[in-house]
Every structure is written in structure tokens, then in C-alpha cells.
């Protein structure tokens, strides 16, 4: 057995090692506990007054309901009213799949607060067909195969109708410029332009 006086300054006995390890273990166990307790603390619930009353017309039908003041028009249409034609594509207003009309003008419903529709007329793809059949733009899209997968088609058609009504369908170049905010990842752009050219005269007369 070695003489205690011969030990180096950093030599530790087995007892000292065990005691030090126990202290470290206990300390380490206590530190994250405080963090977990903080993480587990209940999150503050939404404050009162986060809902607003909304009264508007959707596809010609008067609609009134209470909504989350933070909801987008797209979420209101899809999740509360079951109108799922408008699609949530990019959710950043960059693809056009969510296009609907508000008071006759196209809007990106993913960027439009639902509360903004109060007192307005909102039209979705579900509301454009007439009693006698499809809307002229819908029929033109069929005639020119202006779709493939169909995901973007509701937004394309709503934007195409607005393109004509807002006076941007005089030339193929005008149509392409106006419709540039609506992306078709299948690449049906030639058919889309042709469909708008076909439907434009009939829409302008209506």
C-alpha cells in the first residue's frame, strides 16, 4: 500500500471519486428539472375578444357567423364553410391557387383576412356556374384542355374571369401578363391563354 505522503496532488481515493460523482449527478438532475417545469407551464389562453362577427354574401347566399379575428379568408371558406375549391398552395400569395373574387375583383384569399369580407360579396369557383350549365370560362378550359392535374384550375379560372372583366384580355401578351401570378406546375399555359381568348367575348357581352 502506498504511503499517503507519496500521493500526487491530484490523486483521489475511490471514496472521493464516488462522492464527487454523486454530487455531479444530483446537480445535473436538478438543472433540467427547472427548465422542464418552465416548459410545462400552461400557455396563456387567447384573450377575450379574439372573435369577430362577420356578415357577408358567399356565392349570392347571405352568411353570418363568428370567426377567429386572425383567420384568413381561405381558411374561413375551406374549414368553416366547406368551400374547398380554392386551394392552399403556397399560403404566401405567390401561386394563385387560392384566388377568389371579392366584390368582383380577384384576391388571394390566403393573404386576405376573413374579417375584411364583412359586408362584401365573395364568389368562389363553386358559385360561378349558371342555371343553364357551366360558366363560359369553365367550358373554355375544358375545350382547350387548359388543365392537367387540376389542382390550380379553380384559381386559374377565377383569375381568368377577372382578367376579362378588368379589361386585360385584348391580346395574348396582356393575358399572359395578367395571369402571371397564377402558376400551373403542369405547364398548361398555352391552353389557358386559348381558353381566355375563347371565353372573353361571351363574358364581355354578359
> pLDDT of 102-156, one tens digit each?
999 999 999 999 999 999 999 999 999 999 999 999 999 999 999 999 999 999 9
At the fourth CATH level, the homologous superfamily of domain 129-206 is [2Fe-2S]-binding domain (1.10.150.120)
Neighbours of 148 (CB within 10 A): 14
Structure pTM?
0.76
What is the pLDDT at residue 40? 42
Q: Using 50, 70 and 90 to split pLDDT, how confident is the model at 178?
A: very high
Q: Is the pLDDT of residue 3 over 90?
A: no
Q: Is the pLDDT of residue 196 over 90?
A: yes
**Which of 132, 109, 135, 130 is closest to 56 using CA atoms?**
109
Place of cell 391580346: 171
Q: Is the pLDDT of residue 52 over 90?
A: yes
What CATH number does domain 49-127 carry, 3.10.20.30, 1.10.287.1080, 3.40.50.920, 3.40.640.10?
3.10.20.30
Angle between helix 136-143 and helix 189-205 axes, rounded to 10 deg: 150
> pLDDT of 18-41, one tens digit each?
555 544 444 344 444 344 334 444
Q: Is the pLDDT of residue 10 over 80?
A: no
Q: Is the pLDDT of residue 56 over 50?
A: yes
> pLDDT of 57-105, one tens digit each?
999 999 999 999 999 999 999 999 999 999 999 999 999 999 999 999 9
C-alpha cell at 7: 500521493
Q: What is the rounded distance in angstroms from the CA atom of residue 108 to the CA atom of residue 159?
A: 10
What is the pLDDT at residue 206? 84
What is the pLDDT at residue 180? 97
Q: Is the pLDDT of residue 2 over 60?
A: no
- CATH 1.10.150.120 in the chain, residues? 129-206
Neighbours of 9 (CB within 10 A): 4
Helix (H) or strand (E) holding 192: helix 189-205
What is the pLDDT at residue 37? 39
Amino acid at each position: 500500500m502506498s504511503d499517503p505522503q507519496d500521493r500526487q496532488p491530484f490523486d483521489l481515493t475511490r471514496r472521493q471519486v464516488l462522492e464527487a460523482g454523486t454530487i455531479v449527478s444530483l446537480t445535473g438532475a436538478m438543472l433540467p428539472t427547472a427548465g422542464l417545469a418552465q416548459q410545462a407551464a400552461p400557455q396563456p389562453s387567447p384573450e377575450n375578444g379574439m372573435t369577430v362577427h362577420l356578415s357577408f354574401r358567399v356565392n349570392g347566399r347571405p352568411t353570418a357567423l363568428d370567426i377567429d379575428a386572425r383567420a384568413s379568408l381561405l381558411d374561413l371558406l375551406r374549414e368553416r364553410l366547406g368551400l374547398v375549391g380554392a386551394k392552399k398552395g403556397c399560403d404566401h400569395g405567390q401561386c394563385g391557387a387560392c384566388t377568389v373574387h371579392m366584390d368582383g375583383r380577384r384576391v388571394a384569399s390566403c393573404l386576405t383576412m376573413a374579417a375584411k369580407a364583412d359586408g362584401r360579396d365573395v364568389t368562389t369557383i363553386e358559385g360561378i356556374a349558371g342555371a343553364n350549365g357551366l360558366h363560359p370560362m369553365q367550358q373554355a378550359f375544358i375545350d382547350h384542355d387548359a388543365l392537367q392535374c387540376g389542382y390550380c384550375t379553380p384559381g386559374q379560372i377565377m383569375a381568368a374571369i377577372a382578367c376579362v372583366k378588368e379589361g386585360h384580355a385584348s391580346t395574348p401578351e396582356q393575358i399572359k401578363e395578367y395571369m402571371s401570378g397564377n402558376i400551373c406546375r403542369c405547364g398548361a399555359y398555352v391552353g389557358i391563354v386559348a381558353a381566355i381568348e375563347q371565353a372573353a367575348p361571351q363574358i364581355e357581352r354578359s
